[in-house]
Structure 1
């Protein structure tokens, strides 16, 4: 992934964390007893420590796996109902087909994805087990800048450990169109594995779902970001009613090195996904020789729906401004020849070969 214009590096949490490989085509997830830390961090103030002990039983480790591709995800989630609804980040479960959650008391449950919003990076799981489960209530008020917040997650090999910080900004923009917008910005030291975990206010209510981080040149977390959630808001209402809102795509992977640097500037296609709308429209990616040296650049997308697009980020933003099923006009250069095509957008989940 290319860094956003104003963040040194953006990492979607949970990348690089994998489940153990097991089995063949009939693979099933096997429960693994979590290692529960008996000693809580001694750096927490008494009030925060009490809050952590109260909220920790409602948080879970979330694991996902696609047995065909062997792609896996590891993150965090939290119960939002006593019947077993678990809120987490969509990117933790987006590549999986099998899911399980592990609780503080050492139990492991299978789960299914019942709803999601890909653009908001939030998903809802349903645990296959008998409740009642401990759960976190969602706040009904908007958070305030400056308040202390608590995150609980699974990064660094920990199991449901606290990360404390302060809320710095509301409505933060990611700087990248393929990341959620309008997030809560914090200085809590989050890392891969914490994704999908709760952001908890001083009253013990969840106000956000951890989504992504920015890091400095040494790899240390600079800022953390969470999707805001409120009891009864449009996002939570849609998830509770089972809506599945996928991101619209055409089936292209951009060249992160050359996009935005051509003349005229545009989003350079690095690869076209097989059997995608882009492939059927005849769009072309970059060509390489046997030594992986660039022979020729792919098509350069300069407009989407009549809107000027100067780099890959602007192309993605324009496409995500439409809906699955919409038909958009894409203008591009092949060499120096301007061309145009009309493409109907499809849901990202329908293109397993797409890994943007």
Structure 2
């Protein structure tokens, strides 16, 4: 009887030891797998390209020109048929654009179009066996999420840096006309521009754009354009050759209680119209400088940035409802949206 009990105890003890060892190995494997970014990098590396641009520069005291390399940057393969996203400033002024792929192939690229206000550009290459990157959803990113930046810093070759999403919706940096940046502490250095910001599943969530630095080196503040915004820009460039934006022809500033008190305004809410373009859509609709705009269509929680973005997304020819105040009198008017003239900010 005692022998049977001892045998059963031994069996249970061995089983417990086996289960405990298995659990420890599983926990170790799980910890190790979460500490490496290798899988995410492996799925995206072939989708990130190095960009070299050439420009024609005049030779002093001669009618001849010489071609020189003026900039290095990065780009991301978006589609199997060769469309590539990068930054406008990477290829600006280039007479020739050369791409170097991760598999060592090199090729010339055609500039499909650029959009300076968002600092984005679309290139096209004719190559087989391209590896387009998987697209993520930048709207679902959360502050604190881990991300990777992949690009060609300083022209030394493809490099990966890791960090987190430090902030979203940065819009007053002064880098672009239209800003909605993802901020990250992943090291983004010169040459990373146009490269990929990816999540830990290897999906593209942003296009690296710029660093905020007093020295020109990475100081833990980098900015990327959300991929949802970038794809909209790319689609418009491919379809129209440019980005078509709505335009009302007004300049506004954020209203608040201090501004209202200083200018003797009836309300500290909304946006204060500071100027109206003569014969523009807002002018023809009756908007005047000094008016307070409280709502555009159904959007009531307006800032200067959200109003700019809202108007830019309107379709030329569309009738838009504007609610506001002139003095103590409220008004609702309809304005016909026009197409944004070149090199202006949409309001």
Question: TM-score under structure 2 normalisation?
Answer: 0.56
SS of the residue 1:215 aligns to:
coil
After superposition, where does 1:72-87 map in structure 2 within 5 Å?
72-87=70-85
Q: Contact 2:72–2:154 (CA<8 Å) still a contact in 1?
A: no
Q: Measured at CA, do residues 47 and 94 of structure 1 come closer, stay the same or move farther in structure 2, by a change above 3 Å?
A: same
2:164 maps to: 166
Measure, in 1, the Cα distance between the counterparts of 2:46 and 2:110: 20
After superposition, where does 1:45-194 map in structure 2 within 5 Å?
46-68=35-57, 70=68, 72-129=70-127, 131-140=128-137, 142=139, 143-176=141-174, 178=176, 180-194=178-192
Q: Contact 1:190–1:213 (CA<8 Å) still a contact in 2?
A: yes
SS of the residue 2:221 aligns to:
strand
Larger helix proportion of the pair = 2
Greater relative contact order structure (CA < 8 Å, 6+ sep): 1
Q: Measured at CA, do residues 189 and 153 of structure 1 come closer, stay the same or move farther in structure 2, by a change above 3 Å?
A: same
Q: Contact 1:72–1:95 (CA<8 Å) still a contact in 2?
A: no
Measure, in 2, the Cα distance between the counterparts of 1:188 and 1:232: 20
Measure, in 2, the Cα distance between the counterparts of 1:59 and 1:52: 10
Q: Measured at CA, do residues 223 and 202 of structure 1 come closer, stay the same or move farther in structure 2, by a change above 3 Å?
A: same
2:195 maps to: 197
Q: Contact 1:138–1:231 (CA<8 Å) still a contact in 2?
A: no
Q: Contact 1:85–1:127 (CA<8 Å) still a contact in 2?
A: yes
Greater C-alpha Rg: 2
Measure, in 2, the Cα distance between the counterparts of 1:189 and 1:178: 20
C-alpha deviation, 1:199, in angstroms: 0.5
Q: Measured at CA, do residues 218 and 170 of structure 1 come closer, stay the same or move farther in structure 2, by a change above 3 Å?
A: closer
SS of the residue 2:208 aligns to:
strand
C-alpha deviation, 1:210, in angstroms: 0.8
Measure, in 1, the Cα distance between the counterparts of 2:215 and 2:106: 38
2:206 maps to: 208
Question: TM-score under structure 1 normalisation?
Answer: 0.54
Number of residue pairs the alignment of both structures matches: 223
C-alpha deviation, 1:304, in angstroms: 8.8
Question: Unpaired segments of 5 or more residues in structure 2?
Answer: 1-32, 59-67, 246-273, 279-288, 291-307, 313-339
1:312 maps to: none
Question: Unpaired segments of 5 or more residues in structure 1?
Answer: 1-43, 248-301, 309-317, 323-343, 349-356
Measure, in 2, the Cα distance between the counterparts of 1:66 and 1:93: 10
